[in-house]
Amino acid sequence: MKTMTFTLAMLASLALAGCGTTTGSRAASGAAMGAAGGALIGSVGANAGKGALIGAGVGALSGYLYDQHEKGHID
Protein backbone atom coordinates (compact mmCIF):
# COMPACT_ATOMS: atom_id res chain seq x y z
CA MET A 1 0.00 0.00 0.00
CA LYS A 2 2.82 2.40 0.86
CA THR A 3 4.48 1.74 -2.47
CA MET A 4 1.27 2.55 -4.34
CA THR A 5 0.76 5.76 -2.35
CA PHE A 6 4.36 6.81 -2.93
CA THR A 7 4.08 6.13 -6.65
CA LEU A 8 0.88 8.14 -6.96
CA ALA A 9 2.36 11.04 -5.01
CA MET A 10 5.43 11.12 -7.23
CA LEU A 11 3.33 11.01 -10.39
CA ALA A 12 1.16 13.86 -9.12
CA SER A 13 4.17 15.98 -8.27
CA LEU A 14 5.70 15.37 -11.69
CA ALA A 15 2.44 16.34 -13.37
CA LEU A 16 2.35 19.61 -11.42
CA ALA A 17 6.08 20.34 -11.57
CA GLY A 18 5.83 23.52 -13.62
CA CYS A 19 2.79 25.12 -12.04
CA GLY A 20 2.82 28.88 -11.89
CA THR A 21 4.11 31.69 -14.04
CA THR A 22 5.99 33.82 -11.52
CA THR A 23 9.07 33.01 -9.50
CA GLY A 24 7.10 33.06 -6.26
CA SER A 25 4.33 30.81 -7.46
CA ARG A 26 6.73 28.27 -8.93
CA ALA A 27 8.81 28.23 -5.74
CA ALA A 28 5.66 27.92 -3.62
CA SER A 29 4.23 25.07 -5.68
CA GLY A 30 7.61 23.35 -5.55
CA ALA A 31 7.72 23.77 -1.78
CA ALA A 32 4.22 22.37 -1.36
CA MET A 33 4.93 19.35 -3.53
CA GLY A 34 8.29 18.83 -1.86
CA ALA A 35 6.72 18.99 1.59
CA ALA A 36 4.09 16.43 0.62
CA GLY A 37 6.65 14.09 -0.88
CA GLY A 38 9.04 14.58 2.02
CA ALA A 39 6.32 13.87 4.56
CA LEU A 40 5.37 10.73 2.69
CA ILE A 41 8.94 9.50 2.52
CA GLY A 42 9.60 10.58 6.12
CA SER A 43 6.57 8.71 7.37
CA VAL A 44 8.17 5.47 6.25
CA GLY A 45 11.05 6.21 8.62
CA ALA A 46 8.68 7.48 11.36
CA ASN A 47 9.74 11.11 10.99
CA ALA A 48 7.24 12.80 8.69
CA GLY A 49 7.91 16.29 10.11
CA LYS A 50 11.61 16.27 9.29
CA GLY A 51 10.88 14.82 5.85
CA ALA A 52 8.33 17.55 5.17
CA LEU A 53 10.80 20.30 6.15
CA ILE A 54 13.57 18.88 4.01
CA GLY A 55 11.17 18.28 1.12
CA ALA A 56 9.82 21.83 1.34
CA GLY A 57 13.32 23.27 1.15
CA VAL A 58 14.34 21.11 -1.76
CA GLY A 59 11.03 21.76 -3.53
CA ALA A 60 11.29 25.53 -3.13
CA LEU A 61 14.84 25.51 -4.47
CA SER A 62 13.79 23.29 -7.37
CA GLY A 63 10.86 25.57 -8.21
CA TYR A 64 13.13 28.62 -8.15
CA LEU A 65 15.74 26.97 -10.37
CA TYR A 66 13.07 25.79 -12.80
CA ASP A 67 11.74 29.34 -13.02
CA GLN A 68 15.18 30.78 -13.67
CA HIS A 69 15.80 28.18 -16.36
CA GLU A 70 12.49 28.97 -18.07
CA LYS A 71 13.39 32.67 -18.07
CA GLY A 72 16.72 31.87 -19.71
CA HIS A 73 18.91 33.00 -16.81
CA ILE A 74 20.56 29.59 -16.40
CA ASP A 75 21.17 26.75 -18.82
Q: Which pLDDT tens digit goes with each residue over 40-57?
A: 888 888 788 888 888 888
| Amino acid 13: pLDDT | 60
| Amino acid 17: pLDDT | 56
Within a 10 A sphere around the Cβ of 3, how many other Cβ atoms? 8
| Amino acid 8: pLDDT | 66
| Amino acid 14: pLDDT | 58
Among the listed residues 1, 3, 11, the one whose alpha carbon sits nearest the alpha carbon of residue 41? 3
- pLDDT tens-digit map of 8-42: 666 666 555 556 778 888 888 888 888 888 888 88
Distance (Å, whole) CA 32 – CA 34: 5
Q: What is the pTM of this model?
A: 0.67
